[in-house]
Structure 1
Amino acid sequence: MKLTTKGRYAVTAMLDLALHGDQGPVSLADISARQEISLSYLEQLFSRLRRQKLVTSIRGPGGGYRLGRPASDVFIAEVVDAVSESLDTTRCGNKGDCQNGEKCLTHHLWSDLSDQIHQFLSEISLGDLMNKREILQVADRQSRRHSGTGSETINTERLSDQAPV
């Protein structure tokens, strides 16, 4: 299974938003700079995320985006699903026509794997990821680099010694 750029970038951008959202609305330009994702690509992704109410937009000066609900209630599978990303590992797109119009010998194996992956991502929230030491360290480094002054940092009080997800 290969999660494409669309799903990866959507999750990355949503995690960035969750990590920086306590400071007010987050602009897509800031996410773009920190994560090195094209601004136009983020605009496309956030349009889809907004339609699914995973984010809300705030217009005007100082505007940007906020999570549509608490980070602990936003699950990774929802983010991937919102951008129409397929987590399907079958060759046929789970249509069951992988071999001359019929299911191939291993169709059920790959279909079950797709279900397991989706279930796994359904159990991980942005809040879970925000509490991972490794993620907070990377986010802090990105914030320092992005601000240019080294003064903007991530709140690391929520650091956890839990095993990485």
Structure 2
Amino acid sequence: MKISTKGRYALRMLLDLAEHQSQGYITLKDIAKRQGISKKYLEQIVIALNQAKFLKSNRGFQGGYQLNKPAKEITVWQILEATEECMSPVACLNQKENPCPRRSECSTLWVWEGLNKVVQEYLKSITIQDLLDREFESNIDNYII
């Protein structure tokens, strides 16, 4: 499994929205500038994030995007699942029911199923709020007078 740029940028975008949620709706232009990501690319990512119902949007002068639910309710797994084509470590686990004709005699299937389970559990255990909290803690540790 390899996480694409789309998945990584989606995570950064939602983290940025969470960081600036007190400012109301945030424009893609502002996110793009802060994150060093092309606005055009963010426009593509927004489609997947809207379909997954992570965002609410507002058009017009004060338009932009906000998180549709609290940061503590959005996991890294959910974001990657919404933006990545496949989250499985091997092709035979891409579907709910394993279509491989060798699955009943495959000596290595349990390795890939175990890896898949560990990755899912780990990514499901981390929320956007966890990332915010960690960033806040690291900024406190770097405070210089």
Normalising to structure 1: TM-score of the pair?
Answer: 0.72
Partner of 2:131: 129
Q: Distance in 1 between matches of 2:70 and 2:38?
A: 26
1:57: how far off? 0.6
Kept in 1, the 8 Å contact 2:58–2:64? The answer is yes
Q: Which runs of 5+ in 2 are unaligned?
A: none
Decide whether aligned partners of structure 1 residues 80 and 28 sit closer, same or farther in structure 2, where only a CA change above 3 A counts: same
2:125 maps to 1:117 = no
Q: Distance in 1 between matches of 2:53 and 2:137?
A: 25
Q: Distance in 2 between matches of 1:78 and 1:133?
A: 20
The amino acid across from 1:72 in the alignment is K
Q: Distance in 2 between matches of 1:116 and 1:84?
A: 18
Q: Please list the CA deviations of residues 39-98 of structure 1 after superposition, one character each: whole Å capped at 9, or x if unmatched.
A: 12211111111122111111101210000011111111111112244221115454453x
Partner of 1:61: 61
Q: Which runs of 5+ in 1 are unaligned?
A: 138-158, 161-165
Secondary structure, counterpart of 2:56 in structure 1: strand
Q: Please list the CA deviations of residues 91-127 of structure 1 after superposition, one character each: whole Å capped at 9, or x if unmatched.
A: 5454453xxx534532321222122111211111111
Secondary structure, counterpart of 2:20 in structure 1: helix
Q: How many residues align?
A: 136
Secondary structure, counterpart of 1:131 in structure 2: helix
Percent identity between matched residues is 36
C-alpha RMSD of matched pairs (Å): 2.2
- Does 1 or 2 have the higher relative contact order (CA < 8 Å, sep 6+)? 2
